[in-house]
């Protein structure tokens, strides 16, 4: 999977909105499929117009590293999921809670071009990840 650093560098070279959206869709295509067993109502993100699923797998400890996986049934949203996972997965719970990925999407030049529904769905994904990370802090 592409790292957040690589994504940021790639977005810096893309001036055109259509090129950015094509890249988002490419990121979505490269995202590993979430197993059907994980596509449950419990893992579904509420507030997204498309179907989005997120799984959280914390390691041990008072400030555990949390591994995330996700998927969507929509191409663009699947790409947004890939960016969110690059930002948060494999990080400590305290770092997840402290990092607001909405700012990241602004720096990448994406947030202002998302429809209201997609932007709300993105916020729902980020909020859920940060809330789950907070629950794992002891």
Q: Supply the pLDDT for residue 49.
A: 84
Residue in 48, 77, 104, 125 annotated catalytic: 48
For position 80, what pLDDT does the model report? 96
What is the pTM (predicted TM-score) of this model? 0.94
End-to-end CA distance of the chain: 30
Regions of the chain where pLDDT drops below 50: none
Three-class SS state of 37: helix
Measured CA to CA, the distance from residue 74 to residue 45 in angstroms comes to: 14
Predicted confidence at residue 2, as pLDDT, reads: 86
Rounded distance, CA 36 to CA 86, Å? 21
For the question of residue 48 being annotated catalytic, the response is yes
The domains of the chain, with CATH numbers, are 4-136 (3.90.1010.10)
CA–CA separation, 94 and 108 (whole Å):
23
Percent composition of the chain: helix, strand, coil (DSSP 3-state, to 5): 55, 15, 30
Strand order across the 91-92 sheet: 52-58, 65-72, 91-92
pLDDT at 15: 86
């Amino acid at each position: 999977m592409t790292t957040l650093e690589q994504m940021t560098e790639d977005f810096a070279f893309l001036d055109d909105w259509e090129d950015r959206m094509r890249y988002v869709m490419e990121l979505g295509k490269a995202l590993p499929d979430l197993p059907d067993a994980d596509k449950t109502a419990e893992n579904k993100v509420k507030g997204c117009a498309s179907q989005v699923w997120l799984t959280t797998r914390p390691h041990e400890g008072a400030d555990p590293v949390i591994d995330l996986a996700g998927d969507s049934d929509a191409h663009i949203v699947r790409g947004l999921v890939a960016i969110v996972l690059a930002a948060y997965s494999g990080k400590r719970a305290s770092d997840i809670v402290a990092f607001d990925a909405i700012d990241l999407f602004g720096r990448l030049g994406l947030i202002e071009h998302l429809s209201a529904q997609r932007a709300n769905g993105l916020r729902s994904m980020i909020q859920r990840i940060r809330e789950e990370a907070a629950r794992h802090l002891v």
